[in-house]
Amino acid sequence: MRSLPAGRSSPSPSQKGKNDRRGFHHLSGRGVFLSKPLIFPPVKISAVGTYVPERVMTNDELSLSLDTSDEWISSRSGIRERHIAENGQAASDMGAIAARRALAAAEASPGDIDLIIVASLSPDMIFPPTASFISGAIGANGTPAFDLSAACTGFIYALAAGSSFIASGQAERVLVVGAEAVSKMIDWADRSTAVLFGDGAGAVLLEPASGEGEGIIGFDLGNDPEGADLLDLPAGGSRLPASRETIENRLHFLKMNGREVFKFATRIIVSSARKVLAEHGLRVEDVDLFVPHQANIRIIDTAARKLGIPPERVFSNLERYGNTSCASIPLCLDEAAAAGRLGGGSLALMVGFGAGLSWGSCLARFDELKRAT
Ligand code: UT7
């Protein structure tokens, strides 16, 4: 971990929301722009590794225990199957495998990493951080490691945090992991949520970028607390500690107002994508690959249509994984790299959204994204 270089101090209250004389853009209170100069020196997503559990659960299998059908699930969400963690297999178990694979792809060792950030809405425990378990599993003893909680947007927030550590000179290589065992948080008697989620993990390595044709260009991050009750897991925290009553009322499971989250998602993907593109002088036509959070194919299609992104530039693998929350975007990045769709300076637009209600977009160019084979 490096110390903060001289001359990089916090913004004064009067600077907030404005670019200062060095071109740094500070928290505006209405979403965050990390404008181009802040990602300096440039930072790239250099390698990716992923893992999904072996067990596959199809829609037909779900319809044996729930009042649902393959027809309903696939037509309303686009999901056909999902991977489900074994009993005793926690988020960190999957995250550690993904992390090892990302390091192998980069030909890096745990000792090369300056920081580990883990995003998850299904952490192993409330504390210690899941990052601590992943650090132990990969042999990164002594390396700073923390969890970042921003629900399904966590991976994008973690990219923003990690790249800021590098840009500020406090770290050179950051491992960002999205790891989810959402199946453990699901009420398997609630058909409105049980059919939507899946388990898995994805990890990426962030490091300084060299040339023009690669690197993270910028972020748009935001949160709307008015929608905090639309998607939550009510019990088990300090607001409503676990008790016989919370268990009987099934309050230790994920709850969602799907219809309202759907409306939010289609609106926010479009506005956030437009905002980050405009901030960096880019147009929708410049985007080579749109990589949205994988929650519902109708959300993805609606947002892409409103943005004017043609289907061949939209990446989706939701059909095979369901909504894997913080793992969904790295799972897409891995498959996109395998398909040769992230290279040669191609511009990717990643957009996440989820509980909070939170959202985050990241624009990045890829010269090459190394992946574990
Ligand atoms: O990571 C981010 C978090 N999540 C999301 O982004 C999810 C956003 N929301 C959605 O994807 C969609 O709203 C859902 C897939 C959750 C639901 O689709 P919908 O078209 O909005 O359906 P709905 O909630 O309006 O429900 C329509 C009907 C209801 O029956 P009635 O009231 O019309 O008789 C539901 O009870 O479908 C019923 N239903 C089901 N039927 C069969 C709900 N779930 C199921 C099910 N199988 N699994």
Per-residue pLDDT of the chain (373 residues; tens, 9 = 90+): 333 332 233 333 344 344 333 333 333 334 444 444 456 679 999 999 999 999 999 999 999 999 999 999 999 999 999 999 999 999 999 999 999 999 999 999 999 999 999 999 999 999 999 999 999 999 999 999 999 999 999 999 999 999 999 999 999 999 999 999 999 999 999 999 999 999 999 999 999 998 678 999 999 999 999 999 999 999 999 999 999 999 999 999 999 999 999 999 999 999 999 999 999 999 999 999 999 999 999 999 999 999 999 999 999 999 999 999 999 999 999 999 999 999 999 999 999 999 999 999 999 999 999 998 8
Structural domains of the chain sorted by starting position, each given as residue range(s) with its CATH number in brackets: 43-208 (3.40.47.10), 215-371 (3.40.47.10)
Give the Cα separation of 231 and 354 in Å (integer): 8
331 lines ligand 1 (CB under 6 A): no
Helix (H, G, I), strand (E, B) or coil at 339: coil
Pocket test for ligand 1, best of 76, 229, 256 (most atoms within 8 A of CB): 76
**pLDDT at site 289:** 98
Q: Which residues pair with 96 in a beta bridge?
A: none
**pLDDT at site 47:** 98
Q: 134-152 burial string, b = 16+ CB within 10 Å, else e?
A: bbebbebeebbbebbbbbb
**pLDDT at site 28:** 34
Count of Cβ atoms closer than 10 Å to residue 57 Cβ: 18
Pocket test for ligand 1, best of 259, 302, 326 (most atoms within 8 A of CB): 259
Calculate the alpha carbon distances from 201 to 56, 212, 327, 348, 365 in Å: 15, 30, 5, 20, 23
74 lines ligand 1 (CB under 6 A): no
323 is an active site residue: yes
* Cα dihedral: 260, 181, 222, 279 (round 10): -110
Length of the chain: 373
Give the Cα separation of 332 and 348 in Å (integer): 11
56, with CB counted inside 10 A (0-12, 13-18, 19+), is: middle
Atom of ligand 1 nearest to the CA of 325: 1
Whole-number Å distance, alpha carbon 279 to ligand 1 midpoint, is 35
Q: How far out from the chain centre does Cα 110 lie?
A: 22
252 is an active site residue: no
Whole-number Å distance, alpha carbon 96 to ligand 1 midpoint, is 33
Entry pTM: 0.91
DSSP-assigned letter for residue 345: E
SS3 content of the chain, % helix, strand, coil (to 5): 40, 25, 40
Whole-number Å distance, alpha carbon 79 to ligand 1 midpoint, is 13
Of 327, 156, 151, 119, give the one whose Cα is nearest residue 233: 151
